Structure 1
Amino acid sequence: MKKVLFISSRPLYPIISGIQIRTVQQLEFLMQRYNVDVIYQSEKTGGEKLVREQLPGVGKIICFKLPKWKSYLQTLRFLFNRLPLQVNYYYEKKIQTYIDKHLNEYDIVFCNNIRTTQYVIEAKHILKCIDFVDALSMNYEKARQHAHGIWKWIYAIEYKRCSAYEQHVLSSFERCAIISEVDKQYLLSRSHSMLHVVGNKVNIPDETFISQHEDWGNIVFIGKMNYEPNIVAVTYFAEHVFPKLMMRYPRLRFVIVGAVPDARVQKLGTYKNIIVTGYVNAVEPYYQKATIVACPMLTGAGIQNKIIQAMAYGCCIVTTPIGAEGLNIQHGELAIANENNMVQTILSLLENKQKRKDMGKAAREYVIKNLSEQVISQQFWKFMNQ
């Protein structure tokens, strides 16, 4: 059986973000047919036992500690090279030394995003695989349009560098995957490389656990809350949409669910009828009790895990065109609104429970048909076998 070295830029568990869901998915698929060793980075050590418990079939598990202060310091290397800031942030010489010493023991190397490709981008005589996940340059192109001050400058730099680096990776790796057709076409607009779409599989809950579409008024957002596109989304909703909804429904609540809330998100918790939960052990109860799941994404790229998971729970979801990117919505599975009609769209759904239920049913059926483990497994092995 062939051996795979799997490189992750972050811990695998506990899962608190979409990138971790994606990383573990690819790792689980690889373990079905290969012997897989894992290298990952973390701000602290001691997580190997949890990985072993969750993935008992995995081979070696090697954690390299990279404190945040060191990552920030390493980012300054961008002044002396042309790599993306995030590649500089995550690059660790100790990992490079280990990989250089052991890479010849493997048949395949798999990088979980562009942040880990620098370790092997020049490697020869080994099958190199990369999961781009999203088109990061597209993400930064959108983000800089909504940014202010120093962040506008940073996003402009990262957009330019990610654009060039993504093309370099495309031409250097033999197997390349990405999450959606939209992201694929964005990257291939400047390249003729082979790039396969591999979606995110969704665990389909039993019907007894799906949303009840309660009338008492919870608008819910679920996501990792130190992720900039999520911060932008909830801040926009809390300041520009929710106050107008409360004029009609004074008891309405906006519940922001997700780990490591940024200070800007925590501040929203001081607003009237807005609740910031921080990390929760289970998100299922929030899907079940959501009147509406709001995903007002103004920036970001790729398919949003927060949306497809809510779809699996049969929730009524209101999002933006950016939030719906990568989903082939044709039968009213989502309500797609822009900044001009977001308020009216939500008000009409709050007043029509049957429509919310119908949308939730269509959304759940979409996920079962398009994002089941069987469907995504076929996409993954098409990418690997090419």
Structure 2
Amino acid sequence: MDPVKILWVKANKLLPVYSGGDIRSYNILRQLARRHQVTLLSYYDGTPDSAYESELQQRFAGAVCVCTRRSANTTLKRGLDYLLRLANPMPYAVSRFASSEVREELNSRYSSVVFEVVVCDFLDAAVNFPETLSIPSVLFQHNVESEIWRRQAETESNVLLKSLYSKELRKMRRYERAMVQKLHQVIAVSEHDRELMGRWRNPLQISVVPTGVDVAQFSSVAPRSAPQPLVVFVGAMDWELNIDAAEFFCGEVLPKIQSKIPEDVSWGAIPAKEFKSSKGPWWKSLEVCLVLWSTYRRQRLWSFRCA
């Protein structure tokens, strides 16, 4: 098979490899680049970051970087930006990534017909794709985004937030369905996600690329004597779904474990403020340690001992 010329479009910086989505994208890109001609288009907010661009080009030859120069959003700025886009039919989680510079870059790439396949990495990048897709284009869905918003809308107790989440859910469902139908092929990360999106298009046009672990990155260690019971959770704790999962575990699952095991230690990555301030009965102490999260970054993990 001849090498395929692939354009991979990614919003936000890919390095350092930190989140689950970035880990997935990075490793798929790395493997594809071994056999195919991959050009990574990475666009990001803030000021131009020459160090990031240089490192990305070292890892992926020919990588193209576009700095949108939008200021990094504080909570206040993000709130004001949301209000300004409230009437926009697109969901805010997508519309905030719209960029005229990126749109021009993509229009140019599609017009040149240099590439044989274009990959839209995450739904948020689709906002800058041209209306007419003259090159076979693939939507890489790390999540079914409307399902995330459905969960938030259903479980939120604050009346105002519940209303906003419901509004964003309706926008996201319309937009996501349109994009799943628009691009020529869709990649899901699980059969469950494939089934959900199969409501919107022929499931035969939705492929599944399961999430895996690079076992070569890890090495085994000799077992320690009398190991203390340990529960490991390495999900990033600045994401609503992981916070929800950790709270469910601590509130519903942990008491059942503790009825069988007198003491337990649980680990989670960088908890959100709300989670750190929780005073649940499972919270006894808090420490900080450093662990090697990946080859490219050390990540702080919070550990809490459960009495």
- When normalised by structure 2's length, the TM-score is 0.77
Q: 1:196 aligns with which of 204, 207, 214?
A: 207
Shift of 1:96: 2.2
- CA distance 1:254–1:35, shift in 2 (3 Å): closer
Q: Deviations over 1:59-103 (max 9, x none)?
A: 333343442246554433542222122111222233223333444
Provide the rounded CA distance (Å) in 2 between the counterparts of 1:84 and 1:212.
50
- Structure with the largest fraction of helix: 1
Provide the rounded CA distance (Å) in 2 between the counterparts of 1:73 and 1:92.
18
- CA distance 1:121–1:102, shift in 2 (3 Å): closer
Structure 2 contact 232–267 (Cα < 8 Å) conserved:
yes
Q: Structure 2 counterpart of 1:33, which letter?
A: H
Q: Does 1:33 align with 2:36?
A: yes
Q: Does 1:13 align with 2:15?
A: yes
Shift of 1:148: 1.6
Aligned to 1:140: 149
- CA distance 1:241–1:3, shift in 2 (3 Å): closer
Structure 1 contact 137–159 (Cα < 8 Å) conserved:
yes
Shift of 1:177: 0.8
Provide the rounded CA distance (Å) in 1 between the counterparts of 2:53 and 2:128.
21
Shift of 1:140: 2.3
Q: Structure 2 counterpart of 1:198, which letter?
A: V
Q: Deviations over 1:169-209 (max 9, x none)?
A: 12211121111111111111233362111112321156624
Provide the rounded CA distance (Å) in 1 between the counterparts of 2:162 and 2:122.
24
Aligned to 2:65: 61
Listed as ranges, the gaps of 5+ residues in structure 2 are 295-307
The range that moved more, 241-250 or 262-271, is 241-250
Listed as ranges, the gaps of 5+ residues in structure 1 are 285-386
- CA distance 1:242–1:87, shift in 2 (3 Å): same
Q: 1:112 aligns with which of 121, 124, 131?
A: 121
Once the two structures are aligned, what percentage of the paired residues are identical? 18
- When normalised by structure 1's length, the TM-score is 0.63
Aligned to 1:219: 231
Provide the rounded CA distance (Å) in 2 between the counterparts of 1:18 and 1:94.
27
- CA distance 1:93–1:266, shift in 2 (3 Å): farther
Provide the rounded CA distance (Å) in 2 between the counterparts of 1:134 and 1:214.
40
Shift of 1:136: 1.5
Shift of 1:39: 2.1
- CA distance 1:13–1:213, shift in 2 (3 Å): farther
Q: Over the residues paired in the alignment, what is the CA RMSD in angstroms? A: 3.5
Shift of 1:137: 1.6
Q: Structure 2 counterpart of 1:38, which letter?
A: L
- Structure with the largest fraction of strand: 2
Q: 1:173 aligns with which of 180, 183, 196?
A: 183
List aligned pairs for 1:41-190, cutoff 5 A: 41-43=44-46, 45-46=48-49, 47-53=52-58, 55-66=59-70, 67-69=72-74, 72-105=79-112, 106-107=114-115, 108-149=117-158, 150-190=160-200
Shift of 1:264: 1.2
List aligned pairs for 1:349-364, cutoff 5 A: none
Shift of 1:44: 5.3
Provide the rounded CA distance (Å) in 2 between the counterparts of 1:214 and 1:82.
58
Shift of 1:121: 4.6
